[in-house]
Amino acid sequence: RIAKNAMSLRERFDVEAQIPELYYNFYGRIAWRFEPFQAGIEHLRRGFEAGLSSGHADMGLYCLLHTIKFVLFSSPSLKSTLKEIDYYLHLLKTYKSVVTRNYLLIFRETVSLLIDSGEATSIQEKAVFGDLNDPVNKPREAFFHHSAIRCYWSGHTERCRYFSEKSMNLTGQGGQPTAYIVKFLFGKLQL
């Protein structure tokens, strides 16, 4: 409720320079808990565009990652999601964010696998995950989350259970929608 009130204040005051950060923090971190993913997608896209145009590319790119995450979990068309990811990967040739590119590649690999097991939609460039045993390695969270999602939809229930358990044992992942999706899938496997 406080966050919603804070967002309404942005309309009263001139905070255009803070739009990327406001949208990232509200729509990317808070609003998904009480609003559908679709409600935040357009705002996060606007945050991405505002970030790039105002010189706050880092916040704009955070908005981009949350946009893709929400699109993956709510879009009725995986093919359009894949096209959107490819568009952003092309755009990142200009902005050269290695971290954002790596996370987009993780999402792309998941979408490609869900469409056709990566047979026709796969690309040569792959995400880099680093040491999966290193507790400070942030991409490992994404690796376990996406591996659980991929295995679930591919029908590999034991592998999904394994990656879900690995994912749930991670610290610091409690506030991400991806973690809740994995917990949901794990719960379904227990039925």
In the chain, the N- to C-terminal Cα span, in Å, equals 35
What is the C-alpha radius of gyration for the chain, rounded to an integer number of angstroms? 17
Rounded to 10 degrees, the C-alpha dihedral 115/111/33/29 comes to: -170
| Crossing angle (nearest 10°) for helices 78-95 and 57-74 | 170
**What mean pLDDT value characterizes the chain?**
87
How far is it, in rounded angstroms, from Cα 131 to Cα 139?
9
| Crossing angle (nearest 10°) for helices 57-74 and 98-116 | 10
Model pLDDT for residues 129-166, shown as the tens digit of each residue? 999 989 888 899 899 999 999 999 999 999 999 999 99
The pLDDT confidence band at residue 168, using thresholds 50, 70 and 90, is confident
Distant-in-sequence, close-in-space partners of 90: CB < 8 Å, separation ≥ 6: none
The token pair at 45 is: 């896209």
pTM confidence score:
0.86
pLDDT of residue 23: 87
pLDDT of residue 152: 93
